[in-house]
Every structure is written in C-alpha cells, then in structure tokens.
C-alpha cells in the first residue's frame, strides 16, 4: 500500500499521513515512553464506513443528531493516534509521543491507565466484518515504523482494546486476524 512509512521523531508525526490533529490529547506522564500498541475497531454510524464522522468525533465536533447513536457519543472527549480506513489510508490525530485518549479505563499486565504508555490505532471496521488486505498492509507498515521510531515499542507488545478493557470493550473483535498480522510482522 505504502512505500516504507516513517515517523519524524521530533514531532511524532507520520510523514506523508493525513493530519487531523485532535484537541483530545495531552502529554504523557514525565519519563513515560510508549511501550504498548493497542488495536481498536471503529465505525460511525455503527457498521457504516467512510464519511467525516470519525474525524468529527476525535476533534470534538460530532453533531448529536447526524447519525444513529451519535447523541450518546457526541460529547465524548476521545481520540486515537491514528485511524486506518478500509482502503488502507492512514489519518493521524495525535502525535505518537503524546497521550491519546483511546483506551479509557484500562490495564495491561497489572499496569493501569494504558493511555499513559500506549499507542492507539483504530481500524475502520466492526467486530464481525473482515478487515481488508489494505488495512493489514498499512497496519503492519505502521507498526514497523513505530517500532523503528520508538525502541520502547515492540510487535511482541501488541494487543486489542478488548485485552486492556475486558468486559467493557470487544474490539477489534473476532473478525480481526491476529495470526495474519503477527506473521506479517515476523
């Protein structure tokens, strides 16, 4: 999908990616570097793809009346570092060195507050619909770029939202092919 992806270590921005910077982010705690990769799934409205709604949600200007279920989420202050659309296009919302608000109440291996030390990557999709080849290609390339830019990250520390918020979140869901992604990263 892409030539080799790279991240500007100074700005934390993915070079060449579409940038839609979210106000729903802040600095990581002092001395904390990203050390966990969290894969999510998102669609707005549920089960529909394309359109401006993910951008609008992450930027805090989602109209409550524009779609089914929007009234419940319009006021949320949430973001992710990046979203990979169905065609493999990547949009970045938060610099990778900063803290995005993607995991909510969460923990990994006994360590709480995953937003403090993780990178959140959203895939446009649903728990039960297969993700696309282009999304897997872009995700694998983005993970390789992140691991190159941040030595504290590793493809061995790669989990789903459901792993850090069990019982509360199910994404990226049963349709996500973990063995396929892990083979692509090997």
Q: Which residues are catalytic?
A: 122
Minimal CA–CA distance to 163: which of 93, 108, 96? 108
Q: Which two tokens stand for residue 157?
A: 């520390």
Distances (CA, A) of 114 to 86, 104, 162: 26, 8, 12
Please state, in angstroms and rounded to a whole number, the distance separating the CA atoms of residues 85 and 26: 24
Cβ burial of 172 (10 Å; 0-12, 13-18, 19+) is buried
What is the length of the chain? Answer: 186
Cβ(3)–Cβ(87) below 8 Å = no
Strand bridging mode 90-92 / 99-100: unpaired
């Amino acid at each position: 999908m892409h030539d080799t992806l790279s991240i500007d270590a100074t700005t934390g921005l993915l070079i060449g990616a579409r940038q839609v910077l979210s106000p729903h982010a802040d600095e990581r705690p002092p001395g904390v570097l990203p050390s966990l990769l969290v894969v999510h799934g998102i669609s707005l409205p549920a089960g529909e793809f394309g359109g401006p709604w993910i951008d609008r949600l992450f930027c805090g200007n989602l109209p409550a009346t524009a779609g089914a279920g929007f009234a419940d989420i319009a006021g949320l202050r949430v973001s992710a570092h990046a979203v990979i659309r169905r065609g493999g296009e990547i949009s970045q919302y938060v610099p990778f060195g900063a803290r995005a608000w993607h995991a909510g109440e969460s923990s990994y291996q006994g360590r709480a507050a995953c937003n403090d030390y993780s990178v959140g990557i959203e895939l446009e999709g649903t728990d039960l619909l297969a993700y696309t080849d282009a999304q897997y290609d872009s995700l694998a390339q983005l993970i390789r770029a992140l691991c190159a830019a941040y030595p504290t990250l590793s493809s061995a520390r790669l989990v789903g939202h459901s792993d850090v918020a069990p019982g509360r979140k199910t994404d990226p869901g049963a349709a996500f092919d973990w063995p396929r992604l892990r083979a692509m990263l090997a």
